Structures are given as structure tokens and as C-alpha cells.
């Protein structure tokens, strides 16, 4: 298991939280909550070690589309980058809805 942290400053406040996914094989869960400090924090726990750069690419790209000041926790059980992005978008969609 590996832990990764990413931070993106200067975000817009959000007022809702959302949960998506399960920690099943090839899947992940995402917990998205408002962050009071105006930044986007992403904390990843993944069962697959050694993919830090791939995670950074995926989260960087998500951060260009999602502007909220949020704390995002990801519990990952070997999801592909596509599935990761899908779950992140799902959670983001729910706080916009």
C-alpha cells in the first residue's frame, strides 16, 4: 500500500460533499468534502505501489477541470486511470447537481 498527497492552491469554495465507488477489485472510492483553506488536497491510498507519476498525471488533469476547494480522499484497489477519472468526475458531478 502506498500513500500519495497532491495539493493545488487558490480554489473556489464549495458547500457540498459527495461519495462515489467501492474499494473493490479494479475500483476505488472517492470522498470529496469542502476544504476551508481554499486549496484542493488529494490524498491517495493505493494497493499498487510505484505508480506515483501516473497518479500525478491523472490528478493534475482532474485539477484543471475541477475548481473547488476540496479535500479528496481516494481509497484505491488497483483501478485503471480511466476508472479513477470516472469516479472523480462522478463525485464532482454530485456536488454540482
Partner 1 sequence: MTARERARAVLDEGSFRELLGPFDRLESPWLPRQGIVPQSDDGVVIARGTFDGDRAVVAAIESAFQGGSMGEVSATKIACALDLARRDCNAGNTVRPILFLESGGVRLQEANLGLGAIAEIHAALVALRRLTPVVGVIAGPVGCFGGMSLAAALCTTLIVTREARLGMNGPEVIEQEAGITELDAADRRLVWSLIGGAQRHATGFADVLVDDHLPDVGRALREAFARGTPPRHRSADVDRYLARLHDLARTADGDAVASLTPDDLRAAWPREHTDDR
Distance of closest approach, residue 38 Cβ to partner 1, in angstroms: 21
Using CB under 8 A as the binding rule, whether residue 77 contacts partner 1 is answered as yes
Distance of closest approach, residue 90 Cβ to partner 1, in angstroms: 12
Using CB under 8 A as the binding rule, whether residue 75 contacts partner 1 is answered as yes
Angle between helices 52-65 and 81-96 (to 10 degrees): 30
Determine which residue in the list 41, 45, 56, 94 makes contact with partner 1, applying CB under 8 A.
45
DSSP output for 38-89? S-EEEEEEESSTT-HHHHHHHHHHHHHH--EEEEEEEEESS--HHHHHHHHH
> Which residues lie near partner 1 (CB under 8 A)?
1, 17, 19, 22-25, 27, 29, 31, 33, 45-47, 73, 75-77
Amino acid at each position: 500500500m502506498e500513500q500519495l498527497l497532491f495539493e493545488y492552491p487558490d480554489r473556489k469554495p464549495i458547500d457540498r460533499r459527495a461519495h462515489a465507488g467501492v474499494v473493490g477489485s479494479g475500483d476505488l472510492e472517492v470522498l470529496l468534502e469542502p476544504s476551508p483553506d481554499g486549496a484542493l488536497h488529494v490524498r491517495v491510498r493505493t494497493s499498487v505501489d510505484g505508480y506515483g507519476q501516473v497518479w500525478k498525471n491523472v490528478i493534475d488533469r482532474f485539477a484543471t477541470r475541477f475548481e473547488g476547494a476540496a479535500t479528496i480522499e481516494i481509497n484505491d484497489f488497483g483501478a485503471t486511470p480511466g476508472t479513477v477519472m470516472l469516479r472523480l468526475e462522478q463525485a464532482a458531478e454530485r456536488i454540482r447537481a
